[in-house]
Structures are given as C-alpha cells and as structure tokens.
C-alpha cells in the first residue's frame, strides 16, 4: 500500500527553536529523554545500517558525514572538528542533520545539531556511566572546560546522580566560564589548578579537551583502581588524550569498533585488542563492570546511531508545534515528471 503523499515542505529546527525546546522540556529532562532514545536504539543495534563515518581531514581539522538507517528512517549528520577555531572566535564543533523517510526518500526533518550534539554526547556519556561507574559515584573530574563541559556535567548529575564536579582546563578563563554556568546547577563546583588536583576523590574522570595531537591528559599514575574514565576528546586519527598504559589496565567499552579503532584512544593499541561494544552491555550479552577495583573506560568518539536517536527525539517533540518552520527545500511539481514545466511556469 502506498503511503500518503510526502510533504513538500520540510520541518526545520533552527538554533533558536532548539533552545526553546530545551527550555520547554528542561535541560536535565531532555538529557534523560535523549538517553532513553539512545538506549532504545542501542538495544536494537543489529538492525541498523552501520558504517564508520566518512571523514575529510585537513591540517587544521576534520569534516565528517555520519549516516545510518533503521530501515524505516534514514539519518545523517554533518559535523566538523577544528580545535584551532576557538582562538578565532569560532566553535570547535558545529553540526546539522537530517532525517528522511526510507519509503519515499523524502526528508522529514532538518535540524541544527551543534546544541543537539552536545546534548546527545553528554546523554551517551551518562548512559554509559550509569552502567559502568562504581556504585555510589558522586564526584566527577571534568578536564577540558570548553563547549561540551557543562552538558557533560549536567548529564552526569541528571542520569548518574553526581553531586560534585572538579574542573580543570589549561585556560583558566574556560574553567571560570564553566563554573559560572554551573552556579545554579545544584552541584558543588571545585576549581582546580592541575589535572592531578582535579582527579582527587573523583570516581568518574571525564576528559574533553581539544588538541590536534596525541596528548596525555591523564598519565598512568593518575588513574587509581575502580574509577570510570569517560574519554570524549580523542576522536580523530592522531588525536588522543590518554597514556597508552591506562588502556592496557582498563576494560574498554566502545560504540562501533571499526570507527573507534581508527579514531578513538584504542588507535594506540593493536587492532585485535579486546573491546566490548556498549550496546551488548545494555542487551545483557556482555557484562559491564565486574568488580569494584576494575577500571572501566568509555572510549567515546560519537557514532551515527546516537545522532539518529537525537533526530528521532526532536522529530517526535516538534511535530505539530511551533518549534519548527516549513522549509521550501523540495521541488514539488504537480506532475512529478514535469520538473521543467514547473520551472518554466515560475518565470511567468
């Protein structure tokens, strides 16, 4: 049975409307909602089309396309990563994305995804930490206090229940900004002057720095037994954050191994080094944390299914509301074969 005719106007969610959506729902609630959508899709992981993202590298950054499909909907995100951008007054990461109907191939949503990426990355981090962090984890170190940091922190509060965050950045202005933005969050915020100070007493160590090099944000001797590491910033070939020795002491959880082996912390290890795909922890196929002394590491690079889940959530929330505007981006001739005629008549 053919479906009803596809829409010619594509609902578009601007940055302004994304901010309205977040405020209508509430930041903590939207993070919990996104984590639920992501969990739902991770549980049906096997039915998705999966491919490592398509990356175009330059000396200063990377531009990537991230496609996937569940057979009913198709989604992709355009995203960049340019660590030098902040010094020029631009963001390191910007993004937009699209969801389409597999049956017609017509787009059903176009959305800003700079904010949405920060939200979905944070929701994924917290979903993973909920399953892997030691019981009763209440303190997080947040190393790298840039654009993602408040989202990461707020998600750990909303989903894992942390009560305190210890901030460190090489740029004290970034830390001040982060502390200011978290003032009313209900979290105890501690400003630290070194990464060593930041990790004191923390059970969750988040690294979220941006530098186009193999950096050592955490050295081996900084990581004690039983912590959970949430490594966000190493997400490109030649761009990592952790000393290699930490990896060999940790149980490593990843999104999609063919992408993470190229982009993640594990690019420092042999291709056959054992890793666990996080979706298998959710379905119960693999065990998460085994004991209180184990070091668990989420080697996050960001995978297309998380963006698909986020777009799916936004589509469900904005449908029929004033949070989207109709975008005239599909040619729609009365006779589908008369595209030229439509153009011709437009002249009149």
Residue 143 sits in the site that holds ligand NAD (CB under 6 A): yes
Choice between 145 and 267, CB closer to ligand NAD: 145
Q: Could you say which of 14, 36, 86, 94 contacts ligand NAD (CB under 6 A)?
A: 86
Choice between 10 and 189, CB closer to ligand NAD: 189
Binding span for ligand NAD by CB under 6 A among 18-26, 46-54, 138-146, 339-347 = 138-146
Residue 162 sits in the site that holds ligand NAD (CB under 6 A): no
Residue 21 sits in the site that holds ligand NAD (CB under 6 A): no
Q: Could you say which of 14, 36, 80, 92 contacts ligand NAD (CB under 6 A)?
A: 92
What is the CB-side half-sphere exposure of residue 35 using CA atoms within 13 A? 25
Alpha-carbon gap, residue 178 to 148, rounded angstroms? 10
Residue 147 sits in the site that holds ligand NAD (CB under 6 A): yes
Q: 235 catalytic, yes or no?
A: yes
Residue 81 sits in the site that holds ligand NAD (CB under 6 A): yes
Residue 60 sits in the site that holds ligand NAD (CB under 6 A): no
Residue 132 sits in the site that holds ligand NAD (CB under 6 A): no
Q: Could you say which of 52, 67, 75, 146 contacts ligand NAD (CB under 6 A)?
A: 146
Residue 190 sits in the site that holds ligand NAD (CB under 6 A): no
Binding span for ligand NAD by CB under 6 A among 65-73, 86-94, 129-137, 311-319 = 86-94
Q: How many residues does the chain have?
A: 348
Binding span for ligand NAD by CB under 6 A among 81-89, 156-164, 243-251, 266-274 = 81-89
Contacting residues toward ligand NAD, per CB under 6 A: 81, 83, 86, 92-93, 117, 121, 143-148, 169-171, 174, 208-211, 215, 217, 232-233, 235, 300-302
Positions marked catalytic? 235
């Amino acid at each position: 049975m053919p479906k009803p005719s596809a829409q010619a106007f594509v609902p578009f969610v601007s940055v302004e409307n994304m901010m309205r959506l977040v405020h209508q729902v509430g930041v903590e609630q939207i993070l919990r909602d996104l984590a639920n959508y992501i969990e739902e899709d991770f549980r049906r992981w096997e039915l998705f089309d999966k491919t490592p993202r398509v990356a175009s590298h330059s000396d200063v950054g990377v531009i990537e396309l991230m496609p996937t499909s569940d057979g009913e909907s198709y989604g992709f995100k355009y995203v960049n990563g340019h660590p030098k951008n902040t010094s020029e007054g631009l963001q390191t990461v910007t993004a937009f994305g699209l969801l389409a109907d597999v049956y017609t191939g017509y787009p059903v949503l176009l959305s800003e995804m700079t904010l949405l990426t920060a939200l979905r990355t944070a929701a994924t981090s917290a979903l993973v930490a909920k399953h892997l962090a030691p019981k009763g984890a209440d303190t997080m170190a947040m190393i790298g206090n840039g654009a993602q940091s408040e989202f990461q922190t707020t998600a750990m509060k909303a989903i894992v229940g942390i009560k305190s965050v210890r901030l460190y950045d090489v740029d004290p202005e970034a830390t001040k900004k982060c502390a200011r933005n978290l003032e009313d969050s209900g979290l105890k915020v501690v400003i630290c002057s070194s990464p060593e100070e930041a990790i004191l007493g923390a059970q969750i160590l988040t690294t979220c720095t941006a530098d186009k090099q193999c950096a050592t944000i955490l050295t081996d001797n900084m990581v004690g037994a039983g912590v959970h590491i949430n490594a966000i910033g190493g997400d490109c070939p030649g761009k990592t954050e952790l000393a290699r020795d930490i990896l060999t002491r940790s149980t490593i959880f990843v999104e999609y191994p063919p992408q993470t082996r190229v982009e993640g912390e594990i690019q420092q290890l042999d291709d056959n080094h054992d890793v666990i795909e996080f979706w298998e922890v959710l379905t119960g196929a693999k065990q998460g944390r085994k004991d209180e002394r184990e070091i668990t590491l989420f080697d996050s690079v960001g995978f297309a299914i998380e963006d698909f889940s986020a777009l799916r959530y936004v589509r469900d929330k904005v449908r029929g509301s004033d949070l989207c505007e109709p975008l005239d981006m599909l040619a729609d001739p009365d006779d589908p074969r008369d595209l030229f005629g439509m153009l011709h008549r437009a002249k009149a």
